[in-house]
Amino acid sequence: MISRITKRHLENCLPYIVLILMVISILFFQMTHHFFINGIDSFFHMSVTYDTYRQLKAGNFSYFLSAFGFYHSLRIVNAVYGPLGGYFSGLLLLITGSWFRWEIAMFFIIFMISGVSMYQLCRYWHVTRIYSTLIGCLYIFTFPIMAFWMNSQYDGVGAAFMPWILYFGSKILNHNDFKNWKLVLLLVILAEIHVFSLLLGLLVLGLCYIVSLIINDHRSALTWKAIKVLFMTTILSFNVWGGIIEVIGSNHSKIIPTYSVPNFFQNMWSTVFYNHQFSIHQNLFLLGLSATVLLLITLFLYLLDMRYLNVQLNFIMIILGIGFLVLSSRLIPWPLIQQHLPILDTDLQFPKRFLPVALSAFCLMLGVLLTKLQHHAHNQYFLTFILFVILGMFVIHAWQNTQYEAQFLYRQQTVASYFGSAFHTATADGWLTKGKKPQPKKLKQSLRGGNPGRYFQLVTKTTPDYMPTTQRIKTDAQYHKINAYNRYYKQVILNKLSYHHHLAHHVMTISFNRKSSRRIIVPFVKYAHTQVMMNGKLLSHYRLTQVGAINVKPRTGHNVMKFKYIPSTSYRVMTWISIVVWLMFLVNIGLEIVKKHLW
């Protein structure tokens, strides 16, 4: 009896062990050579992480204003961009102690989530344990996940959770009973990490819900569940929605959005299949060689073996995958749509963000089809071996490409950046080096050493997202007209004002000396609800630049400025309601777990 239990536990644990070994093998070269990958979005996320890291380390918290990250500029970033995800990242840096170890830990976590989520999705669809494990490994190597590894693009974080979204979508299609709190928790986690991934997940679940209403009975029960999930998700993630509404609403929508991409077809990273001419360096690289072949094999096997399948559900999943693949491509007239919806320039940016849904669906259906084909073959064991070898070759090929990319990044410069060195005075992706000469040795030390703040003394990157401005930005022309990158760089980062700062009880205190009372621009950002005290009085006579920096008239001698963000009353009330609901939610989960395992 004991041996049977041990064997069953070993069989259940073995796939996870294989996934762990696969992830370690991907990161092995980076770990042994101790290099840091500075992706195109690394600096932004590192700034958020450093801000929360300093808050956690000092025990002084500033939820809205960036008191430590982004050069103490007091801009609002974390409160509107994955708040709890930012604090988790800061906690991880506090535990690991250096940027290098922090990055390895982040990669390991995201790779494992992507592999485990795909494995569990396949097992729900009764894919064999071997195929589920191999497909879980293969999914790690798909483009969105690898984009997180190479460029720190948080679309990859959402892609890691996407198979779990399809898991609940499958349960909705099958009208199986599922724990509402598990789906709510998944959606809240996505909201706290990456809002677009949450919206994408809700779109997928919404489509599954609509189809389920058509093909299944018990529509009222399903609708009631959907309402409860949406309500609980909204309340529990109020800090995200409330933060966005609070900041954008109080500033009358005069907030600098994320980088504008005016024409998706002109930007080679915007869509898959972006060139009419077939090119292995373009189409296959962006979609991924494995994913391209995966699509073709899946469609072929589906047409070949559809007589053995639950045609209805499998057809729905295939259509879902193809639909989102088309959405992510230039087959959709995105430029025409952009003309009528210019908000897509900044809020969508890249239609390839729809790709994780397609890849998750294709990986799932490949496993389903291979399992069905195996079970209905005349020579079952021989076919299983052949299919195992073919799928294994795809995984090995993807692993080899990953190791090649790792070595390529390592050879290019001491601190690797996929789109350009962080040492250059200026590059296409906006990296800037402090000082006249690059300092690769010092930069390398700052990434490996135990002082994470040293990194920001050597390198900077101008990213003005979510800063206040003097006008509403609705079009790409308006976005570029204010020249936010350049203004932010000159007025905040290169500002020569010498000051001392201190955070205590949510109040940031800055002190500096002036020899004259001439007006100056101080490198601090003011939002509508940012209360500023100057020399003991509420600041009333000031001007704001086009990136929200304060232009004030100081007094001769010593000056003291105090900054505190005071959110609206409605926001504070809803925050307390959210906290109470969170407590009730956690108690309910605890009681359910106790009831399941102890009663």
Q: What pLDDT band is residue 365 in, cutting at 50, 70 and 90?
A: confident
pLDDT at 391 over 80: no
Strand order across the beta sheet in which 549-552 lies: 520-525, 549-552, 543-544
Same-domain check for residues 511 and 481: no
CB atoms within 10 A of CB 429: 18
Tell me, what's the pLDDT at 588? 86
What are the tokens at 586?
């956690």
Burial label, 477 (beta-carbon count in 10 A; 0-12, 13-18, 19+): exposed
- With contact defined as beta carbons under 8 Å apart, do 78 and 192 qualify? no
Tell me, what's the pLDDT at 1? 52
pLDDT at 173 over 50: yes
CATH number at residue 535: 2.60.40
Residue 522 lies in a domain: yes
Q: Which amino acid is at 566?
A: I
The count of residues in the chain is 599
- Tokens 């009730």 label which residue? 584
Same-domain check for residues 269 and 216: yes
Residue 224 lies in a domain: yes
Residue 35 lies in a domain: no
Q: pTM here?
A: 0.88
> Distance between CA atoms of 531 and 562, rounded to whole angstroms?
8
Same-domain check for residues 331 and 455: no
3-state secondary structure of 216: coil
Average pLDDT, the chain: 82
Strand order across the beta sheet in which 530-534 lies: 500-504, 507-514, 557-565, 530-534, 537-538
Residue 596 lies in a domain: yes
What are the tokens at 323?
């639909």
> Distance between CA atoms of 246 and 252, rounded to whole angstroms?
10
What is the tens place of the pLDDT at every residue in 283-328? 334 455 555 666 666 666 666 655 555 556 778 888 898 899 888 8
pLDDT at 414 over 50: no
Same-domain check for residues 451 and 521: no
Quote the domain boundaries for residue 521: 497-566
- Tokens 């990958």 label which residue? 37
Same-domain check for residues 360 and 214: yes
What is the tens place of the pLDDT at every residue in 421-453? 333 333 333 444 555 555 667 777 888 888 999
The percentage of residues in the chain with a pLDDT greater than 70, rounded to a whole number, is 82
What are the tokens at 401?
């490409």
Task: Count helices and strands (H / E) in the chain.
Answer: 23, 10
Please give the tally of structural domains in the chain.
Answer: 4
Mean pLDDT of 255-265: 80
CB atoms within 10 A of CB 199: 15
What are the tokens at 122?
């396949």
Q: Which of 127, 51, 129 is nearest to 93 (CA)?
A: 51
Distances (CA, A) of 563 to 226, 239, 339, 478, 506: 42, 21, 41, 30, 9
- With contact defined as beta carbons under 8 Å apart, do 356 and 113 qualify? no
Residue 394 lies in a domain: yes
Tell me, what's the pLDDT at 280? 35
Same-domain check for residues 391 and 482: no
Tell me, what's the pLDDT at 411? 57
Q: Which amino acid is at 453?
A: G
Strand boundaries in 215-285, DSSP class E: none
**Sign of the dihedral defined by the CA atoms of residues 203, 207, 209, 213, in that order:** positive
DSSP per-residue codes, 164-175: HHHHHHHHHHHT
Burial label, 298 (beta-carbon count in 10 A; 0-12, 13-18, 19+): buried
- With contact defined as beta carbons under 8 Å apart, do 178 and 166 qualify? no
Task: For residue 459, list its beta bridge partners.
Answer: 433
Least confident range of 19-33, 310-324, 582-596: 310-324
Same-domain check for residues 363 and 235: yes
Mean pLDDT comparison of 110-119, 144-153, 270-279, highest-scoring range: 110-119
Same-domain check for residues 547 and 597: no
Residue 358 lies in a domain: yes
Mean pLDDT of 268-274: 53
Residue 50 lies in a domain: no
Burial label, 558 (beta-carbon count in 10 A; 0-12, 13-18, 19+): exposed
Q: What pLDDT band is residue 408 in, cutting at 50, 70 and 90?
A: low
- Quote the crossing angle between the two packed helices 129-140 and 380-412, to the nearest 10°: 20
Same-domain check for residues 546 and 580: no
Same-domain check for residues 321 and 253: yes
Torsion, Cα 515 521 527 528, to 10 degrees, reads 70
- Quote the crossing angle between the two packed helices 355-375 and 143-151, to the nearest 10°: 130
Domain boundary among 491, 522, 537: 491
Q: Which amino acid is at 265?
A: F
Same-domain check for residues 340 and 213: yes
Same-domain check for residues 579 and 474: no
Q: Which amino acid is at 80?
A: V
Residue 30 lies in a domain: no
- Residue scoring higher pLDDT (373 or 514): 514
**Sign of the dihedral defined by the CA atoms of residues 175, 179, 185, 188, in that order:** positive
> Distance between CA atoms of 29 and 36, rounded to whole angstroms?
11
Q: What pLDDT band is residue 361 in, cutting at 50, 70 and 90?
A: very high
